Amino acid sequence: MLSSQAGSEVWAEADGSGLTFDSSTCYSLPNGADRSPDAAWILLLRWSALKPEQRRRFPTIAPDFVVELRCDTDSLLCHSSPDARVY
């Protein structure tokens, strides 16, 4: 269960190996797609390797771990199709 971003931030700070991001962060993926998962985690080493301009606006990186919550109104078909949202 994903309780809150605050909870994931506590975990990330204690672990120290990466950074957490919430749904307000949109990523520009290598395939040109822009995605904004409900929660994401990126290895600190990978994030630090980005240039400052790559970290601004839409970071040009695919997160190492993402959480996408499906609500009752979402269709399973759209998540299982070949064109499903890919991170």
Instruction: Tell me if 12 sits within 8 A of 39, measured CB to CB.
Output: no
Taking the chain, what is the end-to-end CA distance rounded to the nearest angstrom?
A: 21
Asked if the model's pLDDT at residue 1 lies above 50, the reply is: no
How many CB atoms lie under 10 A from the CB of residue 14?
A: 8
Is the predicted pLDDT of residue 68 greater than 70, yes or no? yes
3-state secondary structure of 7: helix
Which of residues 79 and 22 earns the better pLDDT score?
22
How many helices and strands in the chain, by DSSP H and E? 4, 5
pLDDT in tens, 9-51: 666 667 889 999 999 999 998 888 999 999 999 999 999 999 9
Residue pair 40/19 in contact (Cβ under 8 Å)? The answer is no
- Which of these, 83, 86, 24, lies nearest to 59 by C-alpha position? 24
Q: What percent of the chain shows pLDDT beyond 70?
A: 70
Domains of the chain: 5-80 (3.90.1570.10)
